[in-house]
C-alpha cells in the first residue's frame, strides 16, 4: 500500500483535527481503495462459491464423528464433542485475531 496513504490514515487516527482532510485523502485514493476492496471481495466470493472447501470440511467432520462413534461414544456425545471442537476453534481464531490487532497498536 502507498506510504502516503498509510501515513495519512495514521495521522487521522492520531490527530482528531486532521479528520477534516479525510474527504481529500479519500478522493485522492478512492480508485486504489475501490480496486483493493474489489479484489478482496472477489477472492471472498471465489472462496465461498468453491464447493470443494465445504466438501473437505464436511468430510472431516463426518470422519471425526464416525471415529468417535466407532470408539464407543454415543451419537449425542460425538455430536457434542464436534460442537465443542468447532466452538474452541472459533475462540482460538478470535483470540489470535485480537492478539494480532493489539500488537499492531
Cell readout for 14 is: 492520531
Q: What is the mean pLDDT, run by run of 10 residues, along the chain of 105 residues?
A: 69 67 72 86 88 90 95 96 90 79 63
Residue 53 confidence (pLDDT): 85
Rounded to whole angstroms, the Cα distance separating 76 from 69 reads 9
Quote the pLDDT of residue 20: 65
Instruction: Sketch the domain layout of the chain as residue ranges.
Output: 1-49, 51-105
What is the torsion angle, in degrees rounded to the nearest 10, for the CA atoms of residue 74, residue 79, residue 84 and residue 85? 100
How far apart are alpha carbons 8 and 2 in whole angstroms? 10
Amino acid at each position: 500500500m502507498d506510504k502516503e496513504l498509510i501515513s495519512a490514515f495514521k495521522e487521522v487516527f492520531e490527530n482528531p483535527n486532521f479528520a477534516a482532510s479525510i474527504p481529500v485523502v479519500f478522493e485522492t485514493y478512492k480508485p486504489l481503495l475501490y480496486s483493493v476492496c474489489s479484489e478482496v471481495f472477489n477472492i471472498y466470493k471465489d472462496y465461498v462459491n468453491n464447493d470443494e472447501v465445504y466438501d473437505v470440511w464436511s468430510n472431516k467432520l463426518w470422519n471425526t464423528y464416525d471415529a468417535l462413534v466407532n470408539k464407543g461414544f454415543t451419537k449425542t456425545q460425538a455430536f457434542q464433542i464436534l460442537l465443542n471442537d468447532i466452538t474452541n476453534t472459533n475462540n482460538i481464531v478470535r483470540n489470535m485475531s485480537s492478539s494480532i490487532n493489539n500488537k499492531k497498536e
